[in-house]
Amino acid sequence: MTFTNKPRPVPSAPGLQMRTHLSSHGKFAIASIPRRGWPAAQVWPDTGVLLAVGRKPAVLREFAAHYNGRITVVLAVRDEIRRKAAIPPALRRHDDVHACDAAGKVMSHALDPGLLPVAATRPALTKEQI
């Protein structure tokens, strides 16, 4: 069996997924946030989503502006992010350094200033919503 370094063709994606725009800091192209689903739907991000978008404060602000008024963070998620942010740099595990840094940015740029509202729990669904 022979292995070659020929580049393999990449299957094309549908048009909506291929459109990109330059990020607010202009260093790389990011996919635009899809405009699908219910425009009035509530958004409940989990810890991983907030840590991913929180690595860059500009992206975190874009995220909050996109879901303006429809996004709510659950108290348990806020507490988990606060615990990660409170870990001193000397005690952070090697694989947890970036998550702890992102947690600190989410706390200082979004949760502490009130950019993202925090609720104790999700409200119960009514029969009409089910």
Sign of the Cα pseudo-torsion (110, 115, 121, 127, in order):
negative
pLDDT computed for residue 40 by the predictor: 73
d(CA 106, CA 120): 18
pLDDT in tens, 54-102: 999 899 999 888 888 888 899 999 999 999 999 999 999 988 899 999 9
pLDDT at residue 16 tops 60: no
Cβ neighbours of 109 (radius 10 Å): 18
**What does the mean pLDDT of the chain come to?**
79
Instruction: Please give the share of the chain, as a percent, with pLDDT higher than 70.
Output: 65
Domain boundaries defined on the chain: 41-119
Q: Of the ranges 27-31, 55-59, 112-116, which one carries the lowest mean pLDDT score?
A: 27-31
pLDDT computed for residue 42 by the predictor: 84
Overall pTM > 0.95: no
pLDDT computed for residue 9 by the predictor: 72
Three-class secondary structure of residue 73 per DSSP: strand
d(CA 31, CA 23): 9
Place of tokens 């063709």: 9
